[in-house]
Amino acid sequence: MSDVASAPDRFARWARESLRAVLMLIRLERDGQAFEPTALRERASPCVPVAGARDDGPIRPSLSAREEPEVHLAWLVLRSILEHFELLVGEAVVEPTGFSLRRSDDWAFEQDSPAAMLAALAHPCPYRCAFCYEEGLPDAARPKARRPTSDSELDLRMALWRQGRDLAGFRGLRYGEILPHPRFAEALQAVRQVADRPIPIATAGAGLNEEKLRVLAGRPRVLVQLSLNTCDPARRERLMGDRQAARLMQLLPRFRELDVAWAASAVAWPGLPFEDLAATVRTAQEHGALHFVVFLPSFSKYFPLERAFDWEARWREATAFVRDLRAKVRIPVRIAPDSWEAARCFGDPLAIEVIGATPGSAADGRLCAGDRVLAVAGAPALPSRPAASRALEEAWREGSEVVVRVDRGGKSVEVRLSAGDAAPGHPGELDAPFGVHLYDGPDERNLARGVGLLRFAGARRGWMLSARLLAKPYELLWDRLQGANAQKEDARDPQPAFP
Ligand code: SF4
């Protein structure tokens, strides 16, 4: 591309460099024909609106390119260049009408997880939940309307999957409902052929029907995580705007009948009576859900004022209710964020408390809610919940036995769990190893790394940046680590101190 003749220097340089960078990623098209611009020329007056990624602009990237954040960025840059400059091929002005990825291979990464691969199918969520953060977001931050992943993009992705790769940018930005995609069954099969890892399928129910359940029927190591929120169709319609709520409720028995592994969740929104929450947990249990998660609700600063509520009071009530409910139902009922319960309700926030055991799992009937874990696999006095969880996960992965010692009402009880005791196909990695639900908690490995770093740097003091929720457990864990380290280290070493 030659230099720009008539534009002010800095502006022209920005446009030229930006276009050069963008053209490394994309190939411009005019009515389906690729072309390479040779120069830029400043327009007499700006012509293309660039405020946001509007669908009515003249550039329509092909291959659903806008679905990839980096390509979307390229698209925005291109639009802002075209607002002020026109593209020349030789002497002729050519206005692009679209673009495609220059080398789709450049966008391929090593596959990491089947769930991330399937996220490529994500449709925008059709619901409008009262508690959804997106509902309160300012327009600029709202996810843009998205089209379903096109056939050409999915074909390309599946070809890459077979090579052990995937087409993805920032996968974390991809979310939505994957079940409504018409090629869901084919994509699931393709993922399963190349990635033998557990697959969680999170859904609020969109696209869930008899056909999709049959696709999922009897599939080992696939777990549907359904945001049920309530078992009352009328209430679900009011809460989430789900007009098909009654149909979803009719489908619930089919999970058990078709042997589809699933777990359910609900947001303990202030408008939702606790009796309804209890009924929803029981309904999920009746239809074979492996566990239930109760999300403690909050609100973003963008929510309208009338949505604000005393979140702390609600969290306390909901937590107390769930702790009471656990003794009355068979499935484990978790609270998220779980550190809230650990910090506020346990006598010792670092205690390793059992939330429950999944019905039909190895732990069913052997461990129960409220047991305090003292040792796993013979290692006494485990320092934290993550260490206990890891010990269980390792034993589960190896398909071996593990001995867990717990304190039950002041008595020490030892139970032997064997992977072979679980129901066939029990997705232990997605539910809980051996069906033992423990709380996650502060991870002592991160703290140990922090201590090591401080020592390495010769620091005399360190700061822990943690959420308010985690402050107490972290403080205790920090003390324990310091105690453990003090035994090993020379007393003259500079000791990091909790501020
Ligand atoms: S299902 Fe989830 S993403 Fe959809 S509206 Fe409700 S909270 Fe938001």
Give me 462's structure tokens: 């360190």
Supply the DSSP symbol for 288. Answer: T
**Across 110-119, 275-284, 307-316, 328-337, least confident range:** 110-119
Rounded to the nearest 10°, the torsion over CA 423, 426, 431, 434 is 50
Distance (Å) from CA 225 to ligand 1 centroid: 14
134 lines ligand 1 (CB under 6 A): yes
DSSP per-residue codes, 294-311: EEPP---TTS-GGG---H
What was the pLDDT predicted at 135?
62
Which residue, judged by its Cα, is nearest atom 8 of ligand 1? 132
265 lines ligand 1 (CB under 6 A): no
pLDDT tens-digit series, residues 129-141: 888 876 655 554 5
Query: Which atom number of ligand 1 is nearest to the Cα of residue 204?
Result: 1
Give the ipTM: 0.99
Which residue, judged by its Cα, is nearest atom 7 of ligand 1? 132
Q: Which domains does the chain have, with CATH numbers?
A: 9-102 (no CATH), 106-336 (3.20.20.70), 345-441 (2.30.42.10), 444-488 (no CATH)
Query: Which atom number of ligand 1 is nearest to the Cα of residue 133?
Result: 8
Distance (Å) from CA 125 to ligand 1 centroid: 6
Supply the DSSP symbol for 149. Answer: P
For the chain, give the percent of residues with pLDDT over 70. Answer: 70
The rounded mean pLDDT for the chain is: 78
pLDDT at 61 over 60: no
Distance (Å) from CA 119 to ligand 1 centroid: 16
Distance (Å) from CA 218 to ligand 1 centroid: 28
Average pLDDT rounded to a whole number, residues 278-292 = 97
Residue 480 banded pLDDT, cuts 50, 70, 90: low
129 lines ligand 1 (CB under 6 A): yes
Residue 57 banded pLDDT, cuts 50, 70, 90: very low
Place of tokens 């609900």: 266
What was the pLDDT predicted at 499?
25
494: Cβ–Cβ under 8 A, 6 or more apart, which residues?
455, 458, 459, 460
pLDDT at 227 over 90: yes
Instruction: Specify whether the CB–CB gap between 266 and 229 falls below 8 A.
Output: yes
Number of Cβ atoms within 10 Å of the Cβ of 157: 23
Distance (Å) from CA 465 to ligand 1 centroid: 30
What was the pLDDT predicted at 474?
58
Query: Which atom number of ligand 1 is nearest to the Cα of residue 127?
Result: 5
| Closest to 138 (Cα-Cα) out of 242, 206, 52, 73 | 52
pLDDT at 105 over 80: no
Residue 292 banded pLDDT, cuts 50, 70, 90: very high
Query: Which atom number of ligand 1 is nearest to the Cα of residue 267?
Result: 7
**Across 77-81, 275-279, 329-333, 468-472, least confident range:** 468-472
Residue 489 banded pLDDT, cuts 50, 70, 90: very low
Crossing angle, helix 338-345 and helix 471-488, to 10 degrees? 80
Distance (Å) from CA 139 to ligand 1 centroid: 16
pLDDT at 334 over 70: yes
227 lines ligand 1 (CB under 6 A): yes
Give me 97's structure tokens: 């009408």
pLDDT at 149 over 80: no
pLDDT at 443 over 70: no
As a whole number of angstroms, the distance between CA 120 and CA 108 comes to: 13
pLDDT at 19 over 90: no
206 lines ligand 1 (CB under 6 A): no
**Across 75-89, 182-196, 407-421, least confident range:** 75-89
267 lines ligand 1 (CB under 6 A): no
As a whole number of angstroms, the distance between CA 64 and CA 56 comes to: 15
What was the pLDDT predicted at 437?
93
What was the pLDDT predicted at 219?
82
105: Cβ–Cβ under 8 A, 6 or more apart, which residues?
none
Distance (Å) from CA 160 to ligand 1 centroid: 30
Distance (Å) from CA 201 to ligand 1 centroid: 15
Number of Cβ atoms within 10 Å of the Cβ of 276: 17
As a whole number of angstroms, the distance between CA 32 and CA 24 comes to: 19
pLDDT at 447 over 90: no
For the chain, give the percent of residues with pLDDT over 90. Answer: 33
The top-scoring range by mean pLDDT among 2-11, 172-181, 487-496 is 172-181
Residue of 125, 137, 228, 243 with the most ligand 1 atoms within 8 Å of its CB, for mutation: 125
Identify the burial level of 23 via C-beta atoms within 10 angstroms of its C-beta, where 0-12 means exposed, 13-18 middle and 19 or more buried. Answer: middle
pLDDT at 492 over 50: no
Give me 467's structure tokens: 């959420």
Distance (Å) from CA 129 to ligand 1 centroid: 5
pLDDT tens-digit series, residues 247-259: 999 999 999 999 9
